[in-house]
């Protein structure tokens, strides 16, 4: 079992990152250790330069993201925790895979279409080839399980297509180089929506702070954001089918079930027939209690940049070692002479 996933160190991590991905980094890290496998979690800092960014902020966010991941339970003793920029094999393998990826495949990526909008000509080349780097990230370590939210599913499918084409084009049939990675997407909370708009994803780039719960929000802020979260005026239904077409209610109940482990039926059994005035404070409390230990640990870690850098340096050394054989094999398969 090889677990591999990445998170961009841009902006403050939020509840969508936590429930969609980070919770599963921790779960799969423990499963990998128990199964004698390995877990690699990295900060996708190379991906972060695909859009306009402030260099000083990227450096600060990188350290803060390490502190956040450790505060959430990613354990550097169990997981190889590092940043891409310290492992040149990611960028090298991306270049090798650029020879295999097709323009048409990248043109179909919904994230590219959403981020570029009508101004494709004005985007960086990195934003367009971003999914090839993401494929390199997971193929380098022969990932089997890739914990991600729903929005990354298409990128993972592309990684499989690239792996398959490379294996077909350059490897003997009985000796494929790359393992085809499987996305590991949570059954609930795969797509946490904005608190202001039930049809938009909760996102670091939403200009409204009120649209998301940041993992560093204090209890008053959490309670305020939940109190002000957009809802419809109807009371909660007693049965699941009564949620049809009620995106905001589905989102809030989804967050509650993901945090408590209760089923939707149980939650509706408790709150059905009551207004959001009763449900929202309960949801706020659960969130505050989830974030309390994360915040406490984050505060302890965040200013010790030496310790945070040491975690990244150690992880990067391990990652360089682990990815070396696959990178060498990829160069060889392509007939490139390097000695
Ligand atoms: P990023 O940094 O946008 O998000 C990190 C993880 O959080 C998940 N996520 C969500 N899950 C549920 N609801 C949401 N509203 C929500 N918002 C974000 C994402 O699905 C992701 O799992 N391209 C990736 C980073 C990356 C990567 C990789 C991931 C680079 N290389 C290789 C996996 C494997 C990204 O930008 O994630």
* Residue 306: predicted pLDDT: 96
What ipTM was estimated for this complex?
Answer: 0.99
Q: Is the CB of 70 under 6 A from ligand 1?
A: no
Whole-number Å distance between alpha carbons of 37 and 141: 12
Residue nearest to atom 20 of ligand 1 (CA): 149
Report mean pLDDT in 10-residue bins for the chain, 339 residues. Answer: 97 96 98 97 98 96 97 98 98 98 98 95 97 98 98 98 98 97 94 96 94 97 98 94 95 96 95 94 98 97 96 98 98 95
- Ligand 1 contacts CB of residue 61 (under 6 A): no
Q: How far is CA 234 from CA 174, 199, 269, 284, 334, in A?
A: 60, 18, 16, 20, 61
Give domain 209-299's CATH number out of 3.60.15.10, 1.10.240.10, 3.40.630.30, 3.40.50.970. 1.10.240.10
CA of 21 to the centre of ligand 1 (A): 7
State the pLDDT at residue 339: 78
Both structure tokens of 176 = 């494929």
CATH topology of domain 2-185+305-333: Rossmann fold (3.40.50)
Find the 233 Cα to ligand 1 centroid distance in Å: 32
The phi, psi pair for 40, rounded to 5°, reads -120, 120
Residue from 21, 94, 143 to probe ligand 1 pocket by mutation (most atoms less than 8 Å from CB): 21
The finding on whether 302 has its CB within 6 A of some atom of ligand 1 is no
Minimum-distance ligand 1 atom for the alpha carbon of 4: 34
User: Which pLDDT belongs to residue 188?
Assistant: 86
CA angle 111, 116, 121 (to 5 degrees): 140
Catalytic residues, by residue number, are: 115, 201, 204
pLDDT at 145: 98
Domain locations in the chain as residue ranges: 2-185+305-333, 209-299
> Residue 195 contacts by C-beta under 8 Å, 6 or more apart in sequence?
202, 210, 211, 212, 213, 225, 226, 228, 229, 230, 251
Q: Do domains 2-185+305-333 and 209-299 have the same CATH topology?
A: no
Provide the CA 219 distance to its chain's centre, in angstroms. Answer: 24
Which of 40, 47, 149 gets mutated to test ligand 1 (max ligand atoms within 8 A of its CB)? 149
pLDDT at 257: 96
- Please, what's the b/e burial string for 88-122 (b: 16 or more CB within 10 A of its CB; e: otherwise)? ebbebbbebbeebbeeebeeebeebeebbeeeeee
pLDDT of residue 217: 96
Q: How far is the CA of 148 from the centre of ligand 1 (A)?
A: 6
Beta partners for residue 80, in sequence order: 40
pTM: 0.97
Q: Is the CB–ligand 1 distance for residue 44 below 6 Å?
A: yes
């Amino acid at each position: 079992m090889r677990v591999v996933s990445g998170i961009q160190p841009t902006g403050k991590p939020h509840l969508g990152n936590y429930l969609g991905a980070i919770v599963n980094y921790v779960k799969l890290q423990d499963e990998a250790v128990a199964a004698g496998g390995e877990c690699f979690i990295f900060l996708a800092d190379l991906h972060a330069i695909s859009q306009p960014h402030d260099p000083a902020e990227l450096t600060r966010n990188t350290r803060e993201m390490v502190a956040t991941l450790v505060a959430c339970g990613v354990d550097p003793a169990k997981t190889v925790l590092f940043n891409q920029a310290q492992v040149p094999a990611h960028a090298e393998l991306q270049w090798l895979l650029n020879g295999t990826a097709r323009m048409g495949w990248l043109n179909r990526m919904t994230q590219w279409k959403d981020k570029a909008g009508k101004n494709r000509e004005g985007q960086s080349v990195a934003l367009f080839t971003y999914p090839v780097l993401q494929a390199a990230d997971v193929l380098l370590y022969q990932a089997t399980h890739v914990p991600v939210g729903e929005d990354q599913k298409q990128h993972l499918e592309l990684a499989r297509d690239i792996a398959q084409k490379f294996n077909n084009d350059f490897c003997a049939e009985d000796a494929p180089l790359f393992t085809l990675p499987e996305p590991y997407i949570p059954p609930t909370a795969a797509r946490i929506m904005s608190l202001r708009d039930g049809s938009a994803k909760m996102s670091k780039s939403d200009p409204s702070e009120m649209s998301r719960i940041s993992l560093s929000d204090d209890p008053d802020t959490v309670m305020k954001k939940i109190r002000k979260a957009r809802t419809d005026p109807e009371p909660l239904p007693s049965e699941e089918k009564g949620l049809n077409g009620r995106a905001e209610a589905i989102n809030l109940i989804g967050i509650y079930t993901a945090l408590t482990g209760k089923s939707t039926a149980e939650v509706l059994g408790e709150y059905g027939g009551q207004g959001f005035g009763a449900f929202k404070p309960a949801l706020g409390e659960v969130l505050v209690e989830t974030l309390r230990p994360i915040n406490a640990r984050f505060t302890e870690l965040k200013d010790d940049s030496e310790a945070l850098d040491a975690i990244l340096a150690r992880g990067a050394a391990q990652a360089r070692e682990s990815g070396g054989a696959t990178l060498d094999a990829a160069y060889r398969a392509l007939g490139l002479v390097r000695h």
